[in-house]
Amino acid sequence: MEVNNNNNGGCCCGSFFQRCKPYIAMISLQFGYAGMNIITKVSLNRGMSHYVLVVYRHAFATAAIAPFALVLERKVRPKITFLMFMQMFVLGLLGPVIDQNLYYMGLKFTSPTYSCALSNMLPAMTFVMAVIFRMEKLDMRKVRCQAKVIGTVVTVVGAMLMTLYKGQVINFFWSHYMHHPRNYVPDNTTTNSGETDWVKGSILLIFATLAWASFFILQAVTLRKYPAQLSLTAIVCFLGTLQSIAVTFVMEHSPNVWTIGWDMNLLAAAYAGIVSSGIAYYVQGIVMQRRGPVFVTAFSPLMMIIVAVMGSFILAENIYLGGVIGAILIVVGLYSVLWGKYKEHKEKEAENIITDEPIKCCGNQIARLETVIEDSESNDIEMQKRDDNNNNEACNELSVTIMSNNNNNDNDVTKA
């Protein structure tokens, strides 16, 4: 009995850990994204071109992921068709080129905390696109679908509020003791040019988030036919590197922008490439195959909280009232979408259990019928063997009788 209890406890712990794996993976990624936002902001403020940063970032990502993809997936890697290659090409264009360049441009005009807060529109955008491409079912008669729609609308309202209303600066108790890092200029401008840059940065961040949501949708479609996550990540990063090089040659004409040394620029490129591109694309692909694209994008508010704390301490950045109100609305709307997604997942699990039970019952009945048939067949075989034995015995007795009669007749003839 003790052994059984221990086995049951181990099975429970194992199943609990399996259920927690997607959550642990996505929470860990938010810490990685938060560090990327802080380091990248410092690097951009020191004069590094965001076009060059995107190139180096994905070059590092390709160098880090490609060896693992070649070794670990050499037997499971499917052949690349022309349609698959075009999907990978568009993935490289949406993620590395469009999304990250627009995001870095918006980051230069705003702040890391504001950029992360506005990026919380990602789950709502992903949900809308998933409904459009029929990856999500929408039945307005159900409460969970109403929650997802209302949450999407609230998220958009919060993003618009953050874009159009800045408000007063909120001072925390530690703000007076923070010192700005070297070459960092905090956003204290209240002039018309400062307001224009803030709105411009917000628009760039919205389009970057739209490109990122499109990346998730297309990645989910591509993984259905090309399930090798490491290989897909390496190919997308490599294609993104080539595309980013072409864009940089067009946008940057000075050869000095390619110069990089052993400084914050190198750290930003290596960290963003290995953690935020290579590892992130791979982990997101694995979780997306199990839980879908909406689940993957549902943890971005945690990144906003981490960046707000780190940015206030490290960068001494200002946090505005409009950003706080908008961020609260975005989080409320986001978790309304999450709640609806959670209820949908539970309903699917219940449906799977209901459909599995009749199959099990039918399987048991079939097994019982098979045993009955086998028993009847064995009984028939035994009866047939008994009949055969009885027939053989009767034939033997008859043959003996006939032979004895023949002998008697022969004796009678000789006597006569």
341-372 pLDDT, tens per residue?
Answer: 778 777 877 777 766 555 555 455 555 545 54
Give the per-residue pLDDT at 153: 84
pTM: 0.67
Residue 212 has pLDDT above 80, yes or no: yes
Give the per-residue pLDDT at 158: 81
Give the per-residue pLDDT at 383: 60
What string of H, E and C letters represents the secondary structure of the chain? CHHHHHHHHHHHHHHHHHHHHHHHHHHHHHHHHHHHHHHHHHHHHCCCCHHHHHHHHHHHHHHHHHHHHHHHCCCCCCCCCHHHHHHHHHHHHHHHHHHHHHHHHHHHHCCHHHHHHHHHHHHHHHHHHHHHCCCCCCCCCCHHHHHHHHHHHHHHHHHHHHHHCCCCEECCCCHHHCCCCCCCCCCCCCCHHHHHHHHHHHHHHHHHHHHHHHHHHHHHHHHHHCCCHHHHHHHHHHHHHHHHHHHHHHHCCCHHHHCCCCCHHHHHHHHHHHHHHHHHHHHHHHHHHHHCHHHHHHHHHHHHHHHHHHHHHHHCCCEEHHHHHHHHHHHHHHHHHHHHHHHHHHHHHHHHHHHHHHHHHHHHHHHHHHHHHHHHHHHHHHHHHHHHHHHHHHHHHHHHHHHHHHHHHHHHHHHC
The model's pLDDT over 260-272, given as tens digits with 9 standing for 90+, comes to: 888 888 889 999 8
Mean pLDDT value across residues 172-184:
52
Average pLDDT, the chain: 77
Give the per-residue pLDDT at 416: 40
Least confident range from 129-133, 139-143, 228-232, 308-312: namely: 308-312
Question: Which of 23-32, 83-92, 165-174 ranks highest by mean pLDDT?
Answer: 83-92
Mean pLDDT value across residues 201-229:
90
